[in-house]
Structure 1
Amino acid sequence: MKQTPTMTWPQHLRAIMTLGIPLIGGHLAQFSIGLTDTIMLGRYSTGALAALTLASALMLLLFLMGCGFAWAVMPMVAQFDAQNDATSIRRATRMGLWLSVLYFIAVLPVLWFSGPLLLMLGQADQLAADAQTYLRIAAFGILPGLLVMVLKSYLAALSRTRIVLLMTLAASLANALGNYLLIFGSFGFPEMGITGAAIASVLSQAVSLVGIGLYAHFSLPAHSLFTRLWKPDWEMFARVFWLGLPIGLTTLAEVGLFEATSLMMGWLGTVPLAAHGIALQTSATAFMIHLGFANVATIRAGNALGRNDLDHLRRGAVAVFVLSLITSCVTVAVFLTVPGPIVSLFINPADPAYGAILATGMALLTVAALFQLVDGAQVIAMGLLRGMQDTRVPMIMAIIAYWGVGIPCSYLLGFVWGYGGTGIWSGLVVGLAVAAVLMLHRFWAHAWRA
């Protein structure tokens, strides 16, 4: 999206919303796949919900780390597009696809043999067994999922965000239908519980890959994206790898912060873990909006970098921060005023643990409201830094903030000082706040010094 250097504030806001709304919708639709699994399995049984929460923690951790290569494609394509360099666009996207395939091959054994790993991390025997059952099927959705993420980054960087939204919506609907048929055994299908949820997730990712791949091939023939896809391009492979690896490790550090809290909640029991899964899914829904704005920040910063337009970079950054702040304020208000109805959506009223899960989930949502502001600020700053292809120092900052500060605070507040689940979640607030301060300082120092 090529902008002039004299854009007014309303023009910046309008451009961000035009590009961002389909991206936000796409993230929400993608996220709804996991959300649908949580809601339907929560109504199937508390045990299935707890196992899904545990399995999703490990799978999401590995999947999002692999997305680092896809997210590296986004600022590179945005920069090359601003320079009208179609050859480099094709080269970067292809090598993003290569790296995604290689990454899937590397992590598949971890998911296949996840049961012993979860037992080593202190989880109950039945929870670990059920989680492994889910992961041995759902793991095969990682490959199409990663390839889809590369193609989404490629299309989004070229401002083709509506098709990203439409394809993701189709995958979400396919997953919801598959869940309904296979979890509960509707319309003559076998009742498969958590296994059915895994099968539905894989099928939905496959639907998304076929659709978005066909669109990329036929709508952008000048890029010849899949022609001689087998041919290596080691120079561009290295560029995508070294930009994407820090992004993946940063994501590993951030998601690992949340997934470590899932393990800690598992130490407290099935009910706290189930409530944690509900609160985490709800918070992550709001986070998808900030993530969409962060993608816009990455694309527009990449465009500005390609044109060496620093005024556009700075003014656009202020505009996207304002929109993220407004989103955070709305989310905080919702979490604080109606936590009960939100949590109850995920629980079967006939479940014997209904009251305990509801009370714990409401308490966790109250804490989740506190980190909306800092979580939004840090992901926007991170998106801008990625657009400037600055990923290595932010990676170090993230590791320090999440693991050097957040995890110890969660453990101290949750177990040493006895605040339980709310203490564990309060540690998240501290870690995210430190990350926000560090990332914001680095971006604005770069932007004004440049």
Structure 2
Amino acid sequence: MTVAVGAPFRTVRELWPIAWPVILSGLVALFINGNDAFLLVGSSDKVLASAVAASAVQFVAAMVVTGLVGSSQVLISRAIGSGRRDRAARRADAGLWLGMWGGTGAGVLLVFAGPVLLWLLSGPAIDGDFARAYLTVTVAALPFVGLGSALRARLAGLAQARGLLFASIAAAAVDVAVAVVLNHMIGPFGVAIGTVAGSIANALVLAWFAVRRLPAPTGVRAPRATAVFGVSRGDLRDLLALGWPEAILYGASSGAAVVVAWLLSDGPAADLAASRILELTTSSIAWIVLTGIGTAATTLLGRSLGGGDLPAFRRILRHTLIVTLSVAAGIVVLGLLLYIPILGLFAPSSVREASVPVVWLAFAQVPLMALHVPVTAAVRAMKDTRTPMIASLIAEYAVFLPLGWVLTRVIVLGLTGVFIAHVVFWVVSVLIVGIRLIGRIRTPHTLV
């Protein structure tokens, strides 16, 4: 009995050193991503709504790049589990190459495709010219997003996550300082420049940790600057095999913000502004906390599979589920009690009034996220990135988009319709990934 009771705490002790820096760095990164909304919340609803639309398009591109290189964490952790530190270093170098050139390519593509996307999104709530100009500034951040994402995956895969926190703090400090000063001097475009400056700072601090601080304790050599000019084709091929489904997954998931902007663009600007504030301050915070635990679990699960330890894999998965569901319960209880009073301290009355009827739906997503995170971490550790991708595509575009259109445009539920569709999205996604995971666990030879 003592072992049974103590086992979950053993797993928590293994998860915690990796998870807490990831969680805190994610919360700081969320602040950076939402900096546009918070600094512009005092502007007109239309200016804020337009910046939200532009940021949504840029965020999709950033997340595609992040997904493309983020799976190097799985390859690195599995290589460490099998004792191949030389392979771990090569996998990490492949991530740097892909992050640099994937981010650069995404930026060039968005320069041309971004204005078209914003034209398609534009409605009475959005100033199309302002949104396009705002986007043109922020695309410059994408190469640094790619490099930063590759370095984050490296540190997480090596279970050395503290650098992520320091990098996020530095990025936040630079982003906010530049945005506040330039917003005062030149207006909203100063906020966009702050976004670029923060991305540069994030990549520089992560690089310092990877090069100067971590090679000795991890036993894995430092990244090579020449990696951005050429890496092993085999390592790059292996990374792309895992990365392209995650790029689609991340793009499809972050595409929800674009879909929401389109669904609400014909309604009051306050609804679109409220959707952004609600997303940043409810589900996004919960998601970052839970995915921080999931990132740690992915590293531990990958190591267990790399070493062929299936009992450890099952133990870590089971206990991670207990942890995420417990965290979700706390978030829901506190959120329902405190959210509206806190919102009233900084948001305009129009945003607060639009938010009140849907707060409970925003928090209803959290327990579903708590189920989704561990099962997704488990299939990723198995080097299965296609199942989460398929789940996201089905849930987002076969369920969320048509259901959201019916609820917002046909039944005219507005913001309420969007959040009902969000809840259904999570139900569908959890079912698809969960069924796949159960099937593979029942056939142990497929786990490794």
TM-score by length of 1: 0.91
What is the letter of the counterpart of residue 437 of structure 2? Answer: F
Structure-1 residue corresponding to 2:399: 405
Question: Of 212, 216, 231, which aligns to 1:218?
Answer: 212
Contact 1:413 1:419 survives alignment (8 Å): yes
Amino acid at match of 2:203: L
State the partner residue of 2:365.
371
Q: 2:53 matched to which residue of 1?
A: 54
Task: Show the counterpart of 1:181.
Answer: 181
What's the CA shift string for 1:355-385, capped at 9, x where partnerless? 3221112223221111111123223321221
Gaps of 5+ in 1: 1-6, 348-353
What does residue 103 of structure 1 align with? 102
1:89 aligns with 88
Name the structure 2 match of 1:420. 414
Q: Tell me the alpha carbon deviations over residues 136-189 of structure 1, each in whole angstroms, 9 at most, x when there is no partner.
A: 111111111221111111011111111211121111122122222121x2xxxx
Partner of 2:3: none
Alignment length, in residue pairs?
Answer: 432
Report the Cα distance in structure 2 between the residues aligned to 1:199 and 1:256, rounded to whole angstroms.
23
Tell me the CA shift for residue 387 of structure 1. 1.4
Letter in 1 for 2:174: A
1:345, distance to aligned residue in structure 2 (A): 4.5
Letter in 2 for 1:129: D
Which residue is equivalent to 1:287?
A: 287
- C-alpha change, 1:227 and 1:448, in structure 2 (3 Å) is same
- Distance change >3 Å, CA 254–CA 298, structure 1 → 2: same
Letter in 2 for 1:332: V
Would you say the 8 A contact 2:106–2:142 is kept in 1? no
Q: How does 1:335-350 map to 2 (within 5 A)?
A: 335-347=335-347
CA RMSD of aligned residues (A): 1.9
| Alignment-mate amino acid for residue 50 of structure 1 | A
Would the alpha carbon gap of residues 429 and 196 (structure 1) be closer, same or farther in structure 2, given more than 3 Å must change? same
Q: Which amino acid aligns with 1:337?
A: L
Is the 1:279–1:343 contact (alpha carbons within 8 Å) kept by the matching residues of 2? Answer: no
Give yes or no for contact 1:279–1:364 (8 Å, CA) kept in 2. no
Aligned pairs for 1:91-170 (under 5 A) are: 91-113=90-112, 114-124=114-124, 127-170=127-170
Cα distance, 1:90–1:364 mapped onto 2, change above 3 Å: same
Task: Give the direction of change, closer, same or farther, for the CA distance of 1:126–1:425 in structure 2 (3 Å limit).
Answer: closer
- CA change 1:129–1:410 in 2 (3 A) is same
User: Which amino acid is 1:429 matched to?
Assistant: V
Question: Separation in 1 of the partners of 2:144 and 2:44?
Answer: 29
- Cα distance in structure 2, aligned partners of 1:339 and 1:126: 27
Moved more, 215-224 or 290-299: 215-224
Q: Secondary structure at the match of 2:295?
A: helix
Question: Identical aligned pairs, as a percentage?
Answer: 22
Deviation of 1:63 (Å): 0.8
- Whether 1:37 and 2:36 are equivalent positions in the alignment is yes
AA partner of residue 157 (structure 1): G
**SS of residue in 2 equivalent to 1:8:** helix
Query: Counterpart in 1 of 2:296?
Result: 296
Could you list the per-position Cα deviations for residues 404-429 of structure 1 after superposition, in whole angstroms to 9, with x for gaps in the alignment? 12222211222222212101210111
Q: How far apart, CA to CA, are the structure 1 residues paired with 2:168 and 2:180? A: 19
SS at 2:224 equivalent: coil
What secondary structure sits across from 1:323 in the alignment?
A: helix
- Gap change, CA 1:136 and 1:258, over 3 Å in 2: closer
Partner Cα distance (2:268, 2:292) in 1: 34
Match in the other structure for 1:322: 322
In the alignment, the residues of structure 2 paired with residue 357 and residue 420 of structure 1 have an alpha-carbon distance, to the nearest angstrom, of 14
Q: Distance in 2 between matches of 1:19 and 1:232?
A: 28
AA in 2 matched with 1:46: D
Q: How far 1:431 moved relative to its partner?
A: 1.3
Change (3 A) 1:61 1:342: farther
* 8 Å contact from structure 1 (residues 44, 193) kept in 2: no
The Cα shift of 1:441 comes to: 2.1
Q: Distance in 2 between matches of 1:265 and 1:346?
A: 22
- Return the offset for 1:126: 5.7
Distance in 2, Cα, partners of 1:428 & 1:334:
21
Distance 1:423 1:38 in 2: 22
CA distance in 2, matches of 1:80, 1:87: 8
CA 1:22/1:286 → structure 2, altered by over 3 Å: closer, same or farther? same
Letter in 2 for 1:193: G
Shift in CA distance, 360/68, structure 1 to aligned 2, threshold 3 Å:
same
